Each structure stands twice: as C-alpha cells, then as structure tokens.
Amino acid sequence: MDAGTVYAVGAPYSEIDAFLLLRSDAAGWRVVDDHVPPEPGGPTAGPEPDWFEETGS
C-alpha cells in the first residue's frame, strides 16, 4: 500500500512548522497524519512517526 505524500508547511520564506501526510482516495486528497518537530533546544515531543522517519528528514 502506498504510504502517501508528505508535505512541509509553514509561512512563505520561513522555517517549516509542520509536516502533513496525505493520501488520495476516491473522495480526493486527505490529511491522514501530522507531525510537528520540537523546537531546536526545546523539549522533545515524543517519538517521530514511522512515515516521518522514512522521509529522511
């Protein structure tokens, strides 16, 4: 099964704020998961999702 497509989101010409995992189905594209990385030097937010680790980020 296709894992989907990952998009990085944030303000134009700025840092990336979050990542979205999207999948296409009969109804169109849908967000199926998201990940917000912790701030550099900040507390960790827990483990990264498997799909995010596979992006090589």
Domain count of the chain? 1
Instruction: Assess if residue 56 is contained within a domain.
Output: no
Per-residue buried b or exposed e for 28-53, using 16+ beta carbons within 10 Å of the residue's own CB? eeeeeeebebeeeeeeeeeebeeebe
42 occurs within a structural domain: no
Q: Check whether 55 has a pLDDT greater than 90.
A: no
Contact status, residue 38 vs residue 57, Cβ threshold 8 Å: no
**Mean of the per-residue pLDDT values of the chain:** 82
In a domain, 30, yes or no: yes
CA–CA distances in Å: residue 37 to residues 2, 27, 31, 53, 54: 23, 29, 17, 12, 15
**Is it the case that residue 16 has pLDDT exceeding 50?**
yes
Encode pLDDT of 18-51 as tens digits.
Answer: 999 999 988 899 999 998 887 777 776 667 788 7
- Is the full-model pTM beyond 0.85? no
Residue 10 maps to a domain: yes
Q: Which domain holds residue 19?
A: 6-35
> Is 19 contained in some domain?
yes
* Residue 54 in domain: no
55 C-beta neighbours (distance < 10 Å), count: 14
